[in-house]
Structure 1
Amino acid sequence: MALREHKSLNEILKFVRENEQENPAHLVLRAKQFPDWPIKEIAEQIAARKKAKDKLPEWYNHPEIIFPPALSMEQCSSEATAKFKASLVKGRHFADLSGGFGIDTYYLSQQFDNVIYVEQQTHLCELAAYNFQQLKKNIVIHHQEAAQFLAETGVHFDWIYVDPARRDQNQKKVSRWQDCSPDLTILLPDILNKCENLLVKGAPMLDISQGVEDLKGYVRNVYVLEWKGEVRELLFHLRKEKTTNPSIKAVLLSDDGEVKKHFEANRVEEETSIVHYSMPQKYIFEPSPSLMKSGLFKALAKAFAIQKLHPNTQLFTASDTLKDFPGRSFLLHEIIQVNKKALKKILPDMKVNLSTRNFPMPVADLKKKLGIKDGGEYYIFACTLQDESKRLLLCKKIKNQ
C-alpha cells in the first residue's frame, strides 16, 4: 500500500514532522515498535524532509505533502530555481513533459490557465496528483511517455518544459542530450511543432557550446543558474526560428528565486572582445561559479573595464572597487612568494582560506607544503601572473559583495 493511502496517514505525517531529527536508519531498526506502520517509507519521508527544508521550504512547511524517494529528491529543482523559471514564462497553455516530483510543474503552472503534467512512472504520477490536490492546483495528469503524449495531443502550447532524466541504464550520471531520456535530439522537431517556446533543463556539467550545437540552432537563450554559491542547472530557451548566436546569461539567485546579480553576453562578443592583462592592482575580482561556467571572461573584462592577471588565470584586477560585479571582490594586502617562511612572516597563525587558479599544484598539496590551516578572515589565491610567475595573493574579502 502506498503511504498516501494508509488509513493512519494524518497520524503518520504528524509523527514524521515531530521526529524529523531522528536518524532514519535508527528508526528502521525500531520497526517492531510500529507493527502497523510502513516504517521504511516513514524513514524515507524523514530523510526527504531533511533535504526539503532548504531546497523546498514552501513544500516542507505544508503539513500534508508527501516526498518521493531519494533519487527524485536529488534530481528535482530547488524552489529558488523553479521560481526563477516561472518568471520567464507566461501564457494560456503549458505542458511539462517530464513531470517527475512536480516541483517545476507547480511553480510554472502559476503563469498559465491550462496545465498538463506528463510522466511515465506510475508512482510519480500518483504522488504528484496527491500533492497537487493538497496544494489546490488544478493540473491535468497524463501517465505517458513524452513522445506518445506529443503524438496524441491536439493542443498547441505557449510553453513546453522538459527536464530529461540524466541517468543511464546503470544509474550513472550523464549530461549530453543524446544520453538522457527522452533524447531531445530525436524528439525536438515533434516538440517544436507543438509549442511557441520550449524550455529545457540541463545538468550543470553539460558543456554549454556542445549543448547549444546539439539542439540544432534553435536555442535563443542559455541561463546558467547559481544558487547558494553553486551552479545548479542550465536552462535552454528554444523557438522554432533558428538563430546562430544565442545570449548566455549567468544568473545569481536569492532563496526566493529573485535575481541578485547577472551578466549577459554571447559567443561573438566573447570572441571579439579585447582583454588587457596586468600585474595585481589594489583589488582582485573572482567571477561567480555561474560566470565561470558561462566562459564569458573577455566580455566580462570589457564590460567592467578590468584586467586579467593572465590568459589562463580567471581572476581580474583593477585599481578601484566595482559595483554589481557578478562574483566576489577582494582587497589585495600582499603578493607573496610560494614559500612557507615568507608566508609565516606575514601571517603568523597560518590560518587562511586557500584556493588555486592556474596553478601547478592542487589545493591539498599546497596546504601541506605551506602548513596552512583553514579559516580566518584572509584569503589566498595561488595563481600564475602576467609575467608567468607563481605567487600567493593575500587578500581580504570586501563585505556586502
Structure 2
Amino acid sequence: MELSVKEEYWKFIKDHEQDIPAQLVLKQKQFPDLPLKELVSQIASRQKAKTKLPEWYAEKVWFPPKLSLEQCSSQATAKFKASLISGNSFADLTGGFGIDTYYLSQNFAESYYVEQQEELCKLANYNFDVLNSKIEINHSQSEEFLKNLQKPLDWIYLDPARRGDRNQKVFLWEDCSPNLVELLPLLFEKAQNIMVKAAPMQDISRAIAELENKVKAVYIIEWQGEVKELLYILSKEAVENPEIHAVQISENGTPIFTFTANKLKEAEISINYELPQQYLYEPSPAMMKAGFFKQLAQNFQLSKLHPNTHLFTSNEIKEDFPGRVFKIENQVPVQKKELKKYIPEMKANLASRNFPMPIAQLKKKLGLKDGGEHYLFATTLKNVEKILLLCKKLK
C-alpha cells in the first residue's frame, strides 16, 4: 500500500503554487515529462488547504482532489473534536482523507484508521508517515473491522457518508453509509464511547429520536461565521434530555463562546416580548441552529420582538452576546419613498426575519442595492406590525 511522490513533483508544485490551475493545465507541452493534470489538481487542492488545513499545507502532504478536500473536516473543527475525547484506544471507522483521524489520534496510545476505498488508504498511509503519526491503516468495511476487533476500544468515531445512490444529499441516519441505527448495537459492543459527525442541515430532534435516545450530548460547531458540522456523543444508557452545546470556535479550534441548554429548560421559561428598544441582537448561526431563544433571552436579560421573530432587543448594550449587535437608529415603514428619506443612496445590507416577502422581491419593491454601512432588518413586531429597522452595526 505505497504512494510514491518524486522530488521533482514537489519542486513543480512549489514553483507554481500561486498559479491559476485552469491556465496551468493547458501547458502540458512545456512539461512533457510530468503528470501535469495530477500536479495541477494538487496545486488547486493546496490552494484550498492553505486556510482550511494550514498545518498540513506546511508539510509535504499529498492532497485529494479539490472536491474531496471541500467535504473533509477543517483543521479547526478537527482540533475541537480532539479536545472532547481521550483515552488509550480509538478507531475512526470512516477514515477518508484522515484529518479527523490524525487530530483525534493525538489523545490516544492506539489509533486505527478504517476506510473501504483503497486509494484513500494509500493516501492516508503516505500522509501519516509524512506527519510522523503512528496510526494503523485498515483497508476494510467498518462493520468488518468491528467484527474482527479482538479487544474493546475506549472511543469510536464515525462520519457516515451523506450521499445517496444518485449522489443526492441525505440527512436521515438510515440513508447514510454506514447505517448508524443498524450499526449501533455492534458499536456499543466494541466501545464504551461513540462520537458521530453529521451535516449541519440535519434535524437534531429527529436525529436524537432515530437513535432511541442514546444521545448524551450534541455539539453545534460554528467556524468562520457558519455552522460547519454537528457532533453527537452517544451513550449506552438512554438519555431523556441531552444537553445541546452551541459552540463558536477559533482558527485553532478553541471555543470563543459556548452556550449550553436543553429542551426541557427551554419549555419551562417565559420571556418578555417588547417593541424595539435601543439595541438589536441577532443570534449567531450556531445559536440559530440550537433554537434556545428563551434561554438566550433569559441569560442576557433581553426581550424578543415577536414569538416567531428571532431577534432580541434591550435598552442596555450586551457586548458579550453570541451574535451580531446593532444600534437601532430608526423604524421605517416598508415603503420606498419613506426609506429614501433615511438612505438617499438606497444602498444597505438587508436581512429578513419573520417577514412575509422573499428578500429578492423586497429589494425590488424598495429599489434597494446591496452594500454600504446601513443594516436593514425587515421583520414583524409583537403587535404584528411589519417594519424596517434601520441599524448601525456595533459588533
* TM bucket, shorter chain: over 0.9
More off after superposition, 188-197 vs 370-379: 370-379
Q: Which residue of 1 aligns with 2:58?
A: 61
The one of 28, 32, 35 aligned to 2:29: 32
Q: What residue in structure 2 maps to residue 122 of structure 1?
A: 118
- In the alignment, which of 121, 126, 131 is matched to residue 135 of structure 1? 131
3-state SS of 1:94 partner: strand
Equivalent AA in structure 2 for residue 43 of structure 1: V
Residue 250 (structure 2) aligns with: 254
TM superposition shift of 1:160? 0.8
**Aligned-partner residue type, residue 90 of structure 2:** F
* Residues 220, 230 of structure 2: 8 Å contact kept: yes
Tell me, yes or no, if the aligned pair for 2:319 and 2:325 is still in contact at 8 Å: no
The CA distance in 2 between the partners of 1:158 and 1:291, in whole Å, is: 31
Distance 1:368 1:55 in 2: 37
Question: Is the partner of 1:5 in helix, strand or coil?
Answer: coil
Q: Deviations over 1:304-344 (max 9, x none)?
A: 22111011111011111114211111111001001111111
Paired residue type of 2:132: K
Look up the SS of the partner of 2:61 in the other structure.
coil
The 2-side partners of 1:327 and 1:39 are apart by: 45
Corresponding residue to 1:303 among 292, 299, 303: 299
Task: Choose which of 326, 332, 352 in structure 1 pairs with 2:322.
Answer: 326
The TM-score, its normalising length taken from structure 1, stands at 0.96
Task: Note the C-alpha offset of 1:375.
Answer: 1.7
2:362 maps to 1:366: yes
SS at match of 1:175: coil
Are 1:150 and 2:149 counterparts?
A: no
The whole-number CA distance in structure 2 between the counterparts of 1:177 and 1:259 is 28
Query: Partner residue of 2:394?
Result: 398
Tell me if structure 2 keeps the 8 A contact 1:219–1:243: yes
1:4-26 C-alpha deviation (Å, 9 max, x unpaired): 425xx222122123312323232
Q: Deviations over 1:171-203 (max 9, x none)?
A: 121121111110101001111111111110000
Which of residues 214, 217, 224 is equivalent to 2:220?
224
Structure 2 counterpart of 1:5: 4
Equivalent pair of 1:261/1:324 in contact (CA under 8 Å): no
Q: CA-to-partner distance for each residue in 1:345-397, whole Å, 9 max, x for gaps?
A: 11222221111001111222212221222222221110011111110111111
Task: Name the SS of the counterpart of 2:230 in structure 1.
Answer: strand
Cα distance in structure 2, aligned partners of 1:19 and 1:271? 57
The match for 2:235 among 214, 220, 239 is: 239
Equivalent residue for 2:337, pick from 325, 334, 341: 341
Which amino acid in structure 2 is aligned with residue 313 of structure 1?
Answer: T
In the alignment, the residues of structure 2 paired with residue 144 and residue 216 of structure 1 have an alpha-carbon distance, to the nearest angstrom, of 28
Residue 4 of structure 2 aligns to which amino acid in structure 1?
E
Over the residues paired in the alignment, what is the CA RMSD in angstroms? Answer: 1.4
The separation in 1 between residues aligned to 2:297 and 2:270, in whole angstroms, is: 8
Question: 1:135-189 CA distances to partner (integer Å, 9 max, x unpaired)?
Answer: 0000000000000000000121111100111111221211211111101010011
Partner AA of 2:250 in structure 1: S
**Same amino acid, percent of matched pairs:** 55
Q: Which amino acid aligns with 1:39?
A: L
User: For the residues of structure 2 that align with 1:170 and 1:362, how far apart are their CA atoms?
Assistant: 31
2:13 aligns with: 16
Task: Tell me the secondary structure at the aligned position of residue 157 of structure 2.
Answer: strand
Counterpart residue type for residue 203 of structure 2:
D
In structure 2, distance between residues paired with 1:263 and 1:120: 37
Equivalent residue, structure 2, for 1:77: 73
Runs of 5+ unmatched residues, structure 1: none
* Ranges in structure 2 where 5+ consecutive residues have no aligned partner: none
Distance 2:25 2:15 in 1: 16
**What is the identity, as a one-letter code, of the residue corresponding to 1:134?**
V
Say whether residues 1:381 and 2:377 are aligned partners.
Answer: yes
CA contact (8 A) 1:72 1:100 kept: no
Looking at structure 2, the residues matched to 28 and 170 of structure 1 have their Cα atoms a distance apart, in angstroms, of: 30
Aligned length: 395
Q: Is the 8 A contact 1:203 1:233 kept in 2?
A: yes
Q: Is 1:118–1:145's contact at 8 Å kept on the other side of the alignment?
A: yes
Alpha-carbon distance between aligned partners in 2 of 1:362 and 1:148, rounded to the nearest angstrom: 50
Please tell me the residue identity of whatever aligns with 2:11.
Answer: K
CA contact (8 A) 1:116 1:141 kept: yes
